[in-house]
Amino acid sequence: MSGTMFYSEIAEASGVKVQNVRHFARVFGLPKAQKKMGQGNIKHSHLHNSVLIYFLTHSFDETAKHFKLTKGELKSCMSAAYRDVTFRHLRKDTRTQAPWTTKQLLFLLRHSGLRPQKWIAEKLKRGNAHSCIKERLQKLGVSSRTLNGFTLSQFRQVFQKDPGFFLRTDAGPQSPHAKCTLFKIVPWIYMAEELKSNRLTSIKPVRDLIYSMAFFQDWIFQGNAIRKMKRICKHSAS
């Protein structure tokens, strides 16, 4: 059975992580197993055109059943086909291929950490959260979790007290196995005002960071950042 299944399928059927399957494959002297799994890209290359055409009007499961492929085999087949530029016209992809505009980037930066990445991707119509939003944030070198401020736990760790203000968001880890569900964000601008009014010296190592991020936050919101962030979070709760 192991010869007809992908690591991801073995993991799903066994209720373990894919990494564990790979580990035991090495332990039992199967270093070529992973390489063999990749042969599906070659084995099903003759199906690329037909699979993509059929998938345009059918679901993933329907396509797998029609071509008598396992889910892992179909994923491998489609991944290889999507990398082939000659099949670009057959991609079931609603993403725009146009370059990011300044307006779109500002929208991304304003809502990151406040709204779910999936919601942002849908509004911008640029693809799914992982392939579009997450990759764009990585290219910008920022994290959505802290782009617009410290989380509540981070604020407590740095300031050694509870904040007088924070925003309740509907953003957070999307995995059903994640312990944390939603972020509670203390905006950079609020923390900058705290530093100015209380003249705190115990957090000098992060003082420049807070001031720099507060300046950046004021720029991406083009003034009135707190009020606009409140509005975003208010809409997310409705």
- Among 55, 90, 125, identify where a domain stops: 90
Task: Establish if 96 belongs to a structural domain.
Answer: no
Give yes or no for residue 139 having a pLDDT over 60.
yes
59-90 pLDDT tens trace: 889 999 999 998 888 888 888 887 787 887 88
Handedness of CA 73, 79, 82, 84 (dihedral sign): negative
Residue 125, domain extent: 102-237
Residues 214, 194 contacting (CB under 8 angstroms): no
**H helix runs in 15-151, sequence order:** 18-27, 33-37, 40-43, 48-55, 60-66, 71-83, 102-111, 117-124, 135-140
Residue 97 lies in a domain: no
13 and 76, same domain (yes or no): yes
pLDDT tier at 94, thresholds 50, 70, 90: low
Asked if 83 and 144 sit in the same domain, the reply is no
Spatial distance between the Cα atoms of 22 and 24, rounded to a whole number of angstroms:
6
- As for how many domains the chain has, the answer is 2
Regarding whether 129 and 75 lie in a shared domain, the answer is no
Residue 83's pLDDT is 77
User: pLDDT tens-digit profile of 200-217?
Assistant: 666 677 888 899 999 999
Q: 107 in a domain, yes or no?
A: yes
Q: Quick check: is 95 in a domain?
A: no
Residues 106 and 86 in one domain: no
Token output for 173 = 């880890």
State pLDDT tens for residues 172-198. 765 544 455 688 999 999 999 888 877
- pLDDT tens digits, residue range 20-55? 777 777 766 665 444 444 444 466 788 889 999 999
